[in-house]
Amino acid sequence: METHIRGARVLMPDSTFADTTVTIAEGRVAALGERPSGRVIEAGDLLLLPGIVDLHGDAFERQLMPRPRVHFPIDMALVDTDRQLVANGITTALHGLTWSWEPGLRGREAAVGFLEALERLRPTLACDTHVHLRHEVYNTGAAEEIERWLAAGRVRLLAFNDHLPMFTRKIGQPSALAQYAERAHMSLEAFTALVREVAERHGEVDSTNRRLAAAARRHGVALASHDDPSPEVRRHFHAMGCTLCEFPLGRATAQEGRRLGNGVIVGAPNVVRGGSHTDSGLRAADLAAEGLADVLTSDYYYPALAHAAFRLAREGLMALGDAWKLISTNPARLAGFADRGCIAPGQRADLVLVDGRAPDLPRIVSTLVAGRTVHADRDLLSGLAA
């Protein structure tokens, strides 16, 4: 039976809003405009928007380890995360799974266990969930196994991360390094020694990166580099096929990404909070307003996505339709999802009904994934169309 969403203001592919009825059949948008029969969702006073596509979210780590050395089962953490995702309007999620040279939460055992649990649970999850593998570049010994994951289609996006400089800067600052030692289940002394040991792998990093980038390209996996510190580094990774510039550390780097035709990714929490939680000083809202950002991601806080789009509109930096594209149309396109990200016939019916009457506190009223209601805070079904 067809389902009709009636009475909402619908975000169209051209970023304008229209008062029209959206018909869903077999998990896809079947038509725009009135149809004669089927179930009706009465959505008066609500906005109907494309479902949110989150290319980088690692807030699931809080469900896995809510406090240092306090672990919960992966299955429980993933199911709880899934409910958080759809309650925040996220219909496609790429979990930012970090596989680092660190043991513990970001070590091999944790990464393998997470991936296996996700694949086992995926058929039962409400959100369409994939893996964004965050490869710490000094974890050179993982290359062969990552290549197998890429060949098997277990990874949707591969990103090159290098957090070692952050760790080396903190050597000699015990209080600053202690939290990472706890995350790795190591003493401060042992973790400091590990950081020094890993730094000696410098000569292996570039060749390993090139090997993995080539494997990703062969298997059609999107490629990103994370925290590019300079335009030179952006050009370096662009030459490897990393067409996604994730969290550039300066305006010049974002501008270089734009010049190269790369997709520039910034954090939605930065927009909501008015700045970065680090000392970078870069405001994601300014980059978006200047046309230097293509995508907002949840990073570490899922609710930030919808709130960031509304804040950009509320502050007059972008029209809401354009701001919403930063969390739907654009990330879908850049990650290779051709079947979602806009409301048009033939597209997956990944949809979000939002109460935007209080633009400083938009509320996700209902979330549909492939036409199925997976979250609702009220009953909107009115019965059958006349």
Q: Are residues 137 and 209 in the same domain?
A: yes
Q: Are residues 211 and 326 in the same domain?
A: yes
Q: Side chain identity at 122, as an amino acid letter?
A: R
The per-residue pLDDT for 146 is: 98
Structure tokens at 188: 């401060």
Q: Are residues 177 and 301 in the same domain?
A: yes
Instruction: Identify the burial level of 320 via C-beta atoms within 10 angstroms of its C-beta, where 0-12 means exposed, 13-18 middle and 19 or more buried.
Output: buried
Q: Are residues 168 and 279 in the same domain?
A: yes
Does residue 224 form part of some domain?
A: yes
pLDDT of 236 above 80:
yes
Place of tokens 């390209």: 217
Q: Which of 314, 334, 354 is the last residue before a domain boundary?
A: 334
pLDDT one-digit tens code per residue, 303-337: 999 999 999 999 999 999 999 999 999 999 999 99
Does residue 208 form part of some domain?
A: yes
The per-residue pLDDT for 35 is: 72
Cα(340)–Cα(352) distance, integer angstroms: 13
The CATH number of residue 36's host domain is 2.30.40.10
Does residue 317 form part of some domain?
A: yes
Q: Side chain identity at 378, as an amino acid letter?
A: R
Q: Are residues 329 and 361 in the same domain?
A: no
Total of domains in the chain? 2
pLDDT one-digit tens code per residue, 193-231: 999 999 999 999 999 999 999 999 999 999 999 999 999
The band of 100, judged by pLDDT with boundaries at 50, 70 and 90, is very high
Q: Are residues 75 and 44 in the same domain?
A: no
Q: Are residues 329 and 360 in the same domain?
A: no
- Select the more confidently predicted residue: 176 or 145: 145
**Domain coverage including residue 291:** 51-334
What mean pLDDT is predicted for residues 78-88? 97
Task: Provide φ and ψ at 15, rounded to 5°.
Answer: 80, 5
Q: Are residues 191 and 167 in the same domain?
A: yes
Q: Which of 310, 334, 358 is the last residue before a domain boundary?
A: 334
Does residue 339 form part of some domain?
A: no
Q: Are residues 236 and 372 in the same domain?
A: no
Q: Are residues 118 and 33 in the same domain?
A: no
